[in-house]
Copies of this chain bind each other. A is one copy, B any other.
Amino acid sequence: MPTVTETVSRLRRVVRLLNRRAQADTGAGSPTRSQQAVLAWLDERGTVTPTTLATLEQVRPQSMSQTLDGLERSALITRTAHPSDRRQVLISLTSSGRTALERGRRLRQEWLENAMTNRLSPPEQRVLAAAIPLLERIVED
């Protein structure tokens, strides 16, 4: 059996490679990965504030501002003032945003879904699926 140190070392490497591969799959013109993640949250939660999005994505509010700038420039979201507390800004998905979300989802997941189904047997797929909640627990705050 591998040592924890060895497991961690290999995990770190494979995470780096997977992450890079995912990045490369950003089709030209379609939303970036960070943008895609925001679109997905908006789809799930409806209208939310930048601070909430920053918390959900585990990034600083300043970083989220920049992601939102890009999305606004592409007209995939709108920023509107909060009706009662004017410090707050409400972020909503536009209809182009929804279209882009669905298109992006399809494009981005393709290679990984293909790799999973073509390179892993069904029992292996189950092992991988079982490991995902464990990885999620590790990255929890």
Contact = CB atoms under 8 A, between A and B. Distances in A.
Interface string A122-141: 00111111111011111110
Contacts of A139: 14, 17-18, 21
Complex copy number for this chain? 2
A37 to B, nearest CB: 8
Nearest to A14: B135
B17 A116 contact: no
Given A1-B126, A18-B15, A112 B138 contact: yes
A58 to B, nearest CB: 6
A109 interface: yes
B10 A113 contact: no
| Chief secondary structure at chain A's binding surface | helix
Contact of A2 (B11, B108, B115, B129): B129
A55 to B, nearest CB: 13
Contacts of A1: 126, 129
A19 interface: yes
10 contacts: A4-B113, A5-B113, A11-B128, A14-B136, A15-B15, A15-B19, A15-B22, A21-B139, A120-B138, A131-B131
